[in-house]
Chains A and B, each alone.
Chain A
């Protein structure tokens, strides 16, 4: 394991330090937490455009005649939804008990070529699992550590990022649909890019995969285009506002997708045998024992991971919890025992904060979408 070793560095490490980043160990990687103020970086992404180094994430390419049947078996969402090359799908990868090994994005690039982008902290176990399952499908599993990744996010992010692309590519990439990807080149010397209209902030934008040796030049070109750097601190508050799960905090192997508010990513399509399906079907019939809910706290303070949540159906716990810069108050995900809870303060949910039972409201999430608080938040 990597835990006892010195943290790994992305190719942009020196660039972050030169920009004054406060660095932090994240899943074995030395990553920028912020470049001064994570709250300012958060607002920058909501109001204009920001960029994140996400090169620590793991890109895995799958090649073979039977890649599609393999992914039908490996993933809880159905790759049969992917019919147009370039289309992407968010999905969980489950173990036979229905527990979440990881969440990932799968890109359909051709009938013999799919690409996965998985989490950094789960790299080793993911690669081991995928490789083990791939054997009987004769699918080649190839990690691409030589690829870096930069996410540009915010209402102005696409517009600003298009300027760094080769002119011949701009119109085509401008028309790229949500959750789609395409190849493109940079304007200044033709670095080969993989541009996806995806993200982890609830804003529009791109995630751009770039060869490591061209990543610093791309970063600097994006900076010159007016896209400001943002760190993992802002990335965390943005994704939680957007109602997006964080692996390891909101779900792991002890949790099924139904218990992590990820039912929308599970496809129980006719006749498809996938790993974990049996358990999910049983849970769907009988009901999962726990559920994940969204909470907003109107009182002062910040909801944090591990705090005890008190409900009429029993005790639960805060998963991801933070201060929401957009709302100016604290928000959280919590896992609680199954059972209906009325929305709002009628849900009568309280959180134990240093011995005090503080009332919170139960809300539907996302909390924030496209820069605006959602109704009822």
Chain B
């Protein structure tokens, strides 16, 4: 299991969020989540310009084993999607916290970030799940 980067925030449903320098927020799924799903074969991305609300499913990641919704933790507008995942969904398996990012949201309510889990809290959640 790879180290959880300290600059991320997490949802209990295993999405991560990173606040970028320009205030926009990048979303992906955790390394733990990709491990549970196994080899990814498709990623269904939202469209740039879509408005999404916190808690909405706005992408689907599909592995050989299962399909899983990806929820946005933040309300706002999609400003970028990782279209490289269309051809190489396995990038999420290889680098969930980096090249495997899924979409970027311009937040309307940045305070929503405060509701997310810190890396330590998320690590604790994973430990509890293991038991």
Contact = CB atoms under 8 A, between A and B. Distances in A.
B38 A301 contact: no
B93 A323 contact: no
B52 to A, nearest CB: 18
Contact of B38 (A233, A300, A304, A325): A233
B44 A39 contact: no
Interface stretch (A30-38, A72-80, A205-213): A30-38
Given A37-B93, A233-B38, A302 B44 contact: no
Contacts of A302: 41-42, 62, 64, 67
Interface string A194-211: 000000000000000000
A322 B42 contact: no
B11 to A, nearest CB: 21
B89 to A, nearest CB: 10
Contacts of B93: 37
Contacts of A39: 39, 41, 64, 90
A233 B64 contact: yes
B42 A37 contact: no
B31 to A, nearest CB: 14
A317 B105 CA distance: 38
Interface string A244-288: 000000000000000000000000000000000000000000000
B42 A33 contact: no
Contact of B42 (A34, A38, A301): A301
Given A300-B44, A302-B67, A304-B67, A33 B62 contact: no
Interface residues of A, number: 15
A301 B65 contact: no
From DSSP, what is the main secondary structure of chain A's interface residues?
mixed
A301 B66 CA distance: 10
Interface of B: 35, 38-39, 41-42, 44, 62, 64-65, 67, 90, 93
A287 B39 CA distance: 41
Nearest to A237: B64
30 contacts: A22-B35, A22-B38, A33-B38, A34-B38, A34-B39, A37-B38, A37-B39, A37-B93, A38-B38, A38-B39, A38-B64, A39-B39, A39-B41, A39-B90, A233-B38, A233-B39, A233-B64, A237-B64, A300-B42, A300-B44, A301-B42, A301-B62, A301-B67, A302-B42, A302-B62, A302-B64, A302-B67, A304-B67, A323-B41, A323-B62
Interface of A: 22, 33-34, 37-39, 233, 237, 300-302, 304, 322-323, 325
A233 B38 CA distance: 10
A92 to B, nearest CB: 28
Nearest to B39: A39
Contact of B64 (A22, A301, A323): A323
A233 B65 CA distance: 8
Contacts of A237: 64
A322 B44 contact: no
A33 B42 CA distance: 20
Contacts of A304: 67
Contacts of A22: 35, 38
- The 9 A-B residue pairs with the shortest CB-CB distance, nearest first, are A39-B39, A323-B41, A323-B64, A300-B42, A37-B39, A302-B62, A38-B39, A38-B64, A38-B38
A40 to B, nearest CB: 8
A238 to B, nearest CB: 12
Contacts of B90: 39
Nearest to A37: B39
A322 B41 CA distance: 11
